[in-house]
Each structure stands twice: as C-alpha cells, then as structure tokens.
Amino acid sequence: MRMAWPAALVHLFTALGAVCALFATRAVLAGAWEQVFAWLGLALFIDGVDGTFARMADVSTKLPRFSGDRLDMIVDYVAYVFVPVLALLQAGYLGGGFGVVLASLILLSSLFHFSDTESKSEDHCFVGFPAIWNIVAFYVFAFHMPTWAASLLVLACVVLTFVPLRWAHPLRTPLLWPVTLALMGVWVLAAFLTLWSGFPAGPSTQAALLLVEGNQLLDVQVTHAVAVGQAKSFAIQMTAHTL
C-alpha cells in the first residue's frame, strides 16, 4: 500500500488544476483579469509536468483503478475551455447573443476534441486544434482585440478543431523539439511580463507573442507535411511489397 502513495500524490497534484480553475473563476467574477490568467497559467504548468511525474511513479500500475488520463481531461476541460470562455463572455469580447453562440460552439467543439480517440498521434502531436482556449483567450486580452476580431479568431479555431492538421506538443513531440521548447520559453517570459504589467500587453511583448505564435503555426505546417510524407512513403512501400 505504501508503494501506491507516490502515485496517489501525482493524481492529487493533477487535481490541483481544478482548484486553480476555481480561483480563476472567482477572479473572472471579480473582473480581475490578470489574476484569472495567473491561476490558469498555474494550471497550465501543473498539466505540463504531471505527466512526467505520472510516468516516474508508474501510476497506471500502482493505482490501476484510477485513470490519470480521465482525470487530466476533466481538469483540462474546466481550466482550458470553460473558464476561458467565461472570461471572454464576462469581459465583453464575445458580446450579445452571437457571443453566446460562439461560446457554445467553443464548448461543443472542445467536447468533440476531448472525446476523439484519435486526437493525438503516435509522436504526441495533437490532431486538430487542441482546445487550448486558455491561450486563445490570453491573446484576446493581451492584444485587447475588438469584438469582431475575437469572434473571427474563435470561429477559425472552432473550424480548425475538425481539420486534421498536426499541432506539435512543445514538450513531447520529437520533431522540432529544440525549436518548440525555446519558443515556449520566450512565450512564458512574455506572458509573465504581460501579467506583471497588466492587460493589454506592451508593443514589444505583443511582438514577442506574435513571433511565437507565427512559429507555432509554421510548426503545424511542418509536422503535418512530414506526417503526410511518411504516410505516402509507407503506402508506396506497401504497394511495392504487394507487387
């Protein structure tokens, strides 16, 4: 039983993301937007490292009754989707009846992504937009987007949820890993400076955020192109073997 304690502590650590989401929700209701994203950022950090701890503690073997993957998805849906959507609504970036429709589309499309058993590839890429609405909402606040721009961004991301492009995981996708890790470091610094100084972000910080996002979109194209090339190569090899 003692051997199961490390695994249980890892699950507890993962579950703390829901507590962060609770405090973020309180901050949303108070209109304290920097606090909202500080709590969501802490939840993002927990989600980024808990998988490593889970593998170290061998949680699936030590506590087979409890699913770390299921726990992770529940916490992620609250912290990555529901709270950011609430923030966009409360701050007026998604306004009126159409804003409520867009918020509903975010919730529904994200449920599709979280339920999709093929939403991750073997090399740990996400297939389709990975429902990182916490990041989308952060950009909306950091750039103080007008309602029409925020609405277009939301619509684009909702559509991309159903487009099978491959989005590189910054910590686990081997392809371009040094690049994605370095860009993640730049992004974390820019996000910290934004929260420290307050929304909207300053011009230099906005430039850094745009640079990181531009490279992320380039990574999407590269990883997708590589995947398509590998699939074609495999098909050619199978055809040759058959002949």
Model's pTM, two decimal places?
Answer: 0.87
* Residue 180 domain-assigned (yes or no): no
* Residue 230 domain-assigned (yes or no): no
Q: Where are the beta strands (DSSP E) in the chain?
A: 126-127, 166-167
* pLDDT per residue as tens digits for the range 94-114: 999 999 999 999 999 999 999
Q: Domains in the chain: how many in total? A: 1
Domain hosting 63: range is 1-80
From residue 180, give the alpha-carbon distance in Å to each of 32, 125, 218.
Answer: 31, 12, 11
Structural tokens at position 120: 């991750």
* Residue 94 domain-assigned (yes or no): no
Residue 179 pLDDT grade (very low, low, confident, very high; cuts 50, 70, 90) = confident
* Residue 186 domain-assigned (yes or no): no
Higher pLDDT, 27 or 168: 27
Closest CA to 101 of 155, 147, 62: 155
Q: What is the mean pLDDT of residues 22-32?
A: 98
* pLDDT per residue as tens digits for the range 196-220: 999 999 999 999 999 888 666 555 5
Closest CA to 27 of 17, 40, 14: 40
| 163-186: burial string, b at 16+ Cβ within 10 Å, e else | eebbbbbbeebebbeebbeebeee
Alpha-carbon gap, residue 200 to 211, rounded angstroms:
17
* Residue 29 domain-assigned (yes or no): yes
Alpha-carbon gap, residue 199 to 182, rounded angstroms:
24
pLDDT at 80: 98
* Residue 114 domain-assigned (yes or no): no
Residue 233 pLDDT grade (very low, low, confident, very high; cuts 50, 70, 90) = very low
Q: What is the mean pLDDT of residues 170-194?
A: 80
* Residue 190 domain-assigned (yes or no): no
* pLDDT per residue as tens digits for the range 131-159: 999 999 999 999 999 999 999 999 999 99
* Residue 50 domain-assigned (yes or no): yes
Residue 119 pLDDT grade (very low, low, confident, very high; cuts 50, 70, 90) = confident
